[in-house]
């Protein structure tokens, strides 16, 4: 029985190989795409966790406003749940590399770096368990001298190179007390798991507000008495869980909460550590003061006594009177000097007594910009994986239902015979379920095996452009849950459709099943009621229209299948448009200036005049002075403040000349004047702000936290912007708002200049060289460099776009081929009859394929509408925090998606012409009994 059953199934497969392969292909695409996308996010997170564990990345980071000492490090190590701790020193500075200036984070090279051994691409072995955030040496050697350093190997610009010299120009307030060296020679390049996000290595108050490079220098490069600025710690058992998972977060949070409860003790101990040597020094100074005062007063007393003795022996002497007067003056001066010293000591003691406990900050990886950004992007892939495969599975279900329904219809007589012989529904269905299972299981296995490797690899390679997280070697691990879910869905949908098709047929009696199904009765269609149009249509066109509406199931299947494929292709093309519109819109339509020149806080009016003079000498136009501050903005709800750049122009009208203020929808201009407060669209959406709402601007400290009481202002407009989060504030509003916070300046110096300068690398080099001669120059930035950076960053999506388009194209081809094949198979007798009636080859082809063309055209149009909605969802899902993607699909993208579907229809038509030619006219003469 089993042998006979297997033979029947094999015979069915051989007799309908095209149908069998179509099911394999559609299930492979559906299951593979679902599994591949579902595994992309987990594979990204697994790769990051592998990297973090291999380099012993910190779990908890502690910061203090008074820094830390070795004693503090030991206190942290002694906290229950802490595996180990490592102190570090870091400071932000502006550096110059050749002609470029950038904000850099200068950090202490860990002691264990030189002894660490890199065992693979992501693992550094070390005998020192306290060596955290282990560095991977990519090229060169470790620094040994105080003027040597290693820099990031993962920057988008690839600068600086080994052998290049870095000049530290200026830095934050803590720079002078932290760093001794001001010039470094690059001797090596490294990768750090502490900085996986290569677009920005962190936030700073310098330059553009982003850290563009990091470097590590030995201890001798830092001040001898410099305190540690941070302590990195690992948590016991945290490395057993995947970074970012619920188990990991719970493990780390328990220890972080324990540290939070001990912060008062840690702060008090740190304050005591700081005050103890200062108090000791002050006591020593007081003791010295008292000793010197007593000695001086004793000396003066002795001198006075000597003068008294001399005066007794020589009364009335003028010299003695003069000496006594001089002694009194000296005594008065000495008393004043000691009184001043006493006041200084008293003030110093008062200042020391008034010293408050430091603020301690306990951070975890969710507050690490790089780790949090990567985690967020991997979770965005999860959101995409929940949508795209649904379209594939929907189309797969329709194709499977159509295919198996046609197979059952072809074997009605055989099914009726089985039923007449007494076989039950389950027994009869076994053959078709086995057929469907063989095809769907084969397709699921092939699709999951291939695309679970290809898709995650492509996604990780795409994100590798902006994240320095090494991808694991192939083969990638297969997530059992995702594989079983995708395979189960693919096979289950196919079997369910097969069961539905068989059961639908078995509702009929055996006598009816043993006869071919009679053709559907013709019905009048809507077009027939449009007399003028219907009368002008040819006979073949009338038949085509009637057939389309006569077979409604075929119409719906084809319509849904083709529209789904077109929608997916449009999403691919639209995603490409939205990405590259960022650059075209931001640096063309919105932002007209292409050069930014900033001076530091010590600049004078003469320096500003020198900048303007230099710019004019190099043919610059549209010069506009502004003040740019990196701040935090909060809305009216409880959402966390958002880091923004606040831009205040010296003259409101001048800023409108170099920036177009308008709404994205409708391009309605937005007024900017002295009383305006404009928020960019992405920032407003993130904070839930609208026109008329009140926002609060906070100062930002060196750690990226909001400080101060804040300055409140009312929003007058939401404006289009694609790169960065900005708040444009009119000068009058700024003066009123800044008065609410004592730490804000109401009178700004406007040390930044926007300008439009000639394009070309040569012109930029000449201008940069001339501007470097201006005292107190801070930064010189060109839009061309920003465009290159964002082009590199955004190109990470191109590979994903290609995958979407290719997958959708393959799906479209399979759907069209299968539906056309079924359509021809259902109408063999009709085609043979047409040939007997004398229809030519071209007329027969037109009779059949005209329907395919019309259905493809209608499905194409529906697909464009569906794809527009789906692309909008994808765009808002994959957006990163500081970038807003374009919201418009270009007309050419609609045209490409539309034409590609028609091209696939044409290819299928050409491939099927041979099958029409093989239809034998004798078929039309066979009896239907």
> Measured between alpha carbons, how far is 272 from 269 in angstroms, rounded to an integer?
5
Do 755 and 591 meet the contact criterion of CB atoms below 8 Å apart? Answer: no
pLDDT top residue among 703 and 739 = 739
925: helix, coil or strand?
helix
> Measured between alpha carbons, how far is 196 from 213 in angstroms, rounded to an integer?
12
> Measured between alpha carbons, how far is 527 from 533 in angstroms, rounded to an integer?
8
> Measured between alpha carbons, how far is 640 from 150 in angstroms, rounded to an integer?
35
**pLDDT tens per residue, range 748-803:** 888 899 999 988 878 877 887 788 788 887 777 788 777 776 676 666 667 677 77
DSSP lists the bridge partners of residue 859 as none
For 457-493, give the DSSP string: HHHHHHHTTTB--PPPPSSPPP-HHHHHHHHHHHHHH
> Measured between alpha carbons, how far is 693 from 184 in angstroms, rounded to an integer?
49
The CA-atom distances, in angstroms, between 862 and each of 54, 397, 565, 859, 907 are 50, 19, 10, 5, 21
Residue 613 in this model has a pLDDT that exceeds 80: yes
> Measured between alpha carbons, how far is 722 from 682 in angstroms, rounded to an integer?
8
CA neighbor of 702 nearest in space, from 643, 759, 774: 643
Under the banding of pLDDT at 50, 70 and 90, the label for residue 2 is low
Predicted pLDDT of residue 1: 43
> Measured between alpha carbons, how far is 685 from 679 in angstroms, rounded to an integer?
10
Q: Which two tokens stand for residue 495?
A: 């079997």
Work out whether strand 183-192 and strand 148-152 pair parallel, antiparallel, or are unpaired.
parallel
Do 253 and 60 meet the contact criterion of CB atoms below 8 Å apart? Answer: no
pLDDT top residue among 471 and 927 = 471
**pLDDT tens per residue, range 285-298:** 888 877 877 787 77
C-alpha dihedral over 786, 788, 789, 790, to 10 degrees? 90
628 Cβ contact partners less than 8 Å away, ≥ 6 residues apart: 598, 645, 646, 647, 752
Predicted pLDDT of residue 312: 64
Predicted pLDDT of residue 414: 80
> Measured between alpha carbons, how far is 875 from 576 in angstroms, rounded to an integer?
10
The CA-atom distances, in angstroms, between 556 and each of 271, 429, 630, 821 are 76, 25, 56, 16
Under the banding of pLDDT at 50, 70 and 90, the label for residue 561 is confident
Under the banding of pLDDT at 50, 70 and 90, the label for residue 881 is low
Share of the chain above pLDDT 90, in %: 17
DSSP lists the bridge partners of residue 727 as 646, 679
Predicted pLDDT of residue 640: 75
* Residue that is written with structure tokens 């009481």 in the block: 709
DSSP lists the bridge partners of residue 371 as none
Length of the chain: 929
> Measured between alpha carbons, how far is 332 from 384 in angstroms, rounded to an integer?
85
Predicted pLDDT of residue 660: 92
**pLDDT tens per residue, range 221-247:** 998 888 898 999 999 999 999 998 989
286 Cβ contact partners less than 8 Å away, ≥ 6 residues apart: 345
End-to-end CA distance of the chain: 30
855 Cβ contact partners less than 8 Å away, ≥ 6 residues apart: 548, 555, 558, 559, 562
* Residue that is written with structure tokens 């919105």 in the block: 590
> Measured between alpha carbons, how far is 698 from 824 in angstroms, rounded to an integer?
70
CA neighbor of 718 nearest in space, from 673, 675, 672: 672
pTM of the shown model: 0.73
pLDDT top residue among 49 and 339 = 49
Share of the chain above pLDDT 70, in %: 91
pLDDT top residue among 156 and 95 = 95
DSSP lists the bridge partners of residue 85 as 233
The Cβ of residue 247 has, within 10 Å, a number of other Cβ atoms equal to 12
C-alpha dihedral over 586, 592, 597, 603, to 10 degrees? -110
Q: Which two tokens stand for residue 564?
A: 């789904």
Long-range contacts for 659-662 (Cβ within 8 Å, ≥24 apart)? 659/590, 659/591, 659/592, 659/593, 659/728, 660/589, 660/590, 660/592, 660/720, 661/717, 661/719, 661/728, 662/719, 662/720
Task: Break the chain down into helix, strand, coil percent, rounded to 5.
Answer: 55, 15, 25
Indicate the range of 37-41, 787-791, 801-805, 833-837 predicted with least confidence.
787-791
CA contacts within 13 A on the Cβ side of 808:
29
142: helix, coil or strand?
coil
Under the banding of pLDDT at 50, 70 and 90, the label for residue 307 is low
Q: Which residues of 700-714 are buried (b: 16+ CB within 10 A; e: fewer)?
A: bebbbbbebebbebe
> Measured between alpha carbons, how far is 766 from 755 in angstroms, rounded to an integer?
15
Residue 42 in this model has a pLDDT that exceeds 70: yes
Predicted pLDDT of residue 205: 63
Mean of pLDDT values over 407-422:
79
Mean of pLDDT values over 203-226:
82
């Amino acid at each position: 029985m089993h042998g006979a059953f297997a033979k029947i199934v094999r015979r069915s497969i051989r007799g309908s190989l095209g149908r069998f392969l179509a099911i394999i292909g559609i299930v492979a695409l559906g299951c593979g795409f679902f599994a591949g996308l579902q595994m992309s996010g987990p594979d990204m997170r697994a790769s990051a966790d592998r990297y973090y564990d291999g380099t012993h990345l910190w779990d908890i980071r502690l910061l203090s406003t008074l820094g830390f000492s070795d004693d503090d490090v030991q206190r942290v190590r002694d906290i229950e749940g802490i595996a180990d701790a490592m102190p570090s020193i870091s400071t932000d500075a502006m550096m110059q590399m050749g002609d470029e200036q950038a904000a850099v984070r200068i950090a202490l090279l860990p002691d264990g770096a030189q002894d660490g051994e890199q065992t693979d691409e992501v693992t550094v072995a070390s005998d020192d368990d306290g060596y955290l955030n282990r560095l991977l040496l990519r090229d060169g050697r470790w620094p040994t001298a105080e003027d040597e350093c290693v820099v990031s190997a993962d920057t988008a610009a690839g600068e600086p190179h080994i052998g290049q010299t870095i000049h530290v120009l200026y830095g934050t307030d803590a720079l002078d007390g932290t760093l001794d060296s001001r010039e470094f020679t690059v001797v090596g390049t490294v990768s750090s798991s502490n900085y996986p996000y290569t677009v920005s290595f962190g936030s700073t108050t310098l330059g553009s507000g982003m850290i563009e490079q990091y470097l590590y220098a030995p201890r001798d490069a830092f001040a001898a008495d410099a305190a540690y600025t941070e302590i990195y710690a690992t948590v016991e058992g945290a490395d057993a869980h995947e970074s970012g998972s619920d188990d990991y977060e719970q493990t780390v949070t328990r220890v972080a909460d324990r540290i939070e409860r001990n912060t008062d003790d840690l702060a008090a101990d740190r304050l005591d550590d700081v005050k103890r040597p200062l108090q000791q020094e002050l006591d020593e100074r007081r003791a010295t003061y008292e000793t010197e005062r007593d000695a001086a007063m004793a000396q003066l007393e002795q001198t006075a006594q000597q003068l008294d003795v001399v005066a007794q022996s020589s009364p009335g002497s003028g010299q003695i009177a003069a000496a006594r007067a001089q002694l009194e003056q000296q005594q008065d001066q000495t008393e004043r000097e000691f009184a001043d010293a006493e006041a200084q000591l008293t003030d110093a003691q008062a200042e020391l007594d008034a010293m408050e406990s430091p603020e301690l900050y306990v951070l975890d990886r969710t507050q690490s910009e790089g780790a949090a950004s990567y985690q967020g992007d991997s979770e965005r892939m999860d959101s995409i994986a929940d949508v795209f495969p649904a379209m594939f599975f929907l189309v797969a279900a329709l194709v499977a239902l159509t295919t198996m329904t046609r197979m059952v219809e072809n074997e009605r007589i055989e099914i009726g015979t089985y039923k007449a012989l007494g076989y039950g529904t389950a027994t009869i269905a076994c053959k078709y379920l086995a057929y469907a299972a063989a095809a769907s299981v084969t397709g699921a296995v092939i699709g999951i095996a291939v695309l679970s490797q290809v898709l995650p690899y492509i996604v990780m390679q795409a994100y590798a452009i902006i994240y320095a997280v090494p991808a694991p070697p192939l083969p990638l691990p297969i997530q059992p849950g995702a594989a079983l879910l995708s395979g189960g869905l693919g096979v289950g949908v196919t079997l369910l459709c097969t069961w539905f098709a068989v059961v639908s047929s078995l509702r009929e009696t055996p006598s009816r099943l043993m006869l071919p199904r009679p053709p559907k009765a013709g019905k009048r269609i809507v077009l027939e009621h449009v007399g003028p149009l219907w009368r002008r249509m040819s006979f073949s066109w009338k038949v085509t229209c009637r057939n389309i509406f006569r077979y409604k199931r075929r119409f719906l299947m084809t319509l849904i299948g083709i529209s789904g494929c077109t929608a997916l292709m449009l999403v691919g093309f639209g995603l490409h448009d939205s990405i590259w519109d960022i650059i075209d819109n931001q640096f063309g339509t919105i932002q007209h200036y292409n050069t930014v020149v900033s001076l530091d806080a010590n600049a004078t009016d003469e320096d500003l005049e020198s900048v303007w003079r230099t710019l004019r000498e190099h043919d610059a136009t549209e010069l506009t002075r502004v003040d740019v501050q990196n701040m935090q903005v909060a809305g009216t709800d409880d959402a966390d403040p958002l880091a923004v750049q606040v831009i205040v122009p010296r003259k409101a009208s001048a800023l409108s000349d170099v920036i177009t203020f308008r709404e994205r929808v409708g391009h309605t201009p937005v007024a900017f004047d002295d009383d305006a407060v404009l928020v960019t669209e992405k920032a407003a959406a993130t904070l839930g702000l609208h026109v008329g709402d009140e926002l609060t601007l906070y100062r930002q400290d060196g750690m990226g936290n909001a400080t101060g009481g804040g300055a409140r202002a009312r929003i007058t407009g939401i404006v289009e912007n694609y790169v960065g989060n900005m708040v444009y504030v009119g000068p009058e509003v700024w003066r009123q708002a800044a008065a609410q916070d004592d730490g804000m300046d109401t009178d700004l110096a406007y040390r930044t200049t926007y300008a439009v300068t000639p394009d070309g690398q040569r012109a930029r080099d000449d201008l940069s060289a001339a501007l470097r001669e201006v005292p107190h120059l801070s930064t010189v930035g060109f839009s061309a460099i920003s465009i290159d950076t964002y082009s590199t960053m955004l190109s990470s999506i191109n590979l994903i776009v290609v995958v979407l388009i290719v997958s959708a194209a393959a799906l479209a081809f399979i759907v069209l081929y299968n539906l056309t094949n079924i359509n021809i198979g259902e109408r063999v007798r009709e085609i043979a009859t047409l040939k007997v009636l004398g229809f030519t080859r071209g007329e027969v082809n037109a009779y059949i394929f005209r329907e395919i063309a019309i259905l493809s055209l209608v499905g194409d149009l529906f697909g464009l509408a569906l794809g527009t909605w789906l692309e909008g969802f994808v765009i808002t899902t994959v957006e990163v925090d500081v970038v807003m993607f374009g919201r418009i699909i270009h007309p050419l993208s609609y045209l490409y998606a539309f034409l590609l579907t028609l091209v696939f229809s044409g290819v299928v038509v050409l491939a099927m012409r041979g099958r029409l030619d093989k239809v034998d006219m004798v078929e039309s003469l066979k009896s239907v009994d």
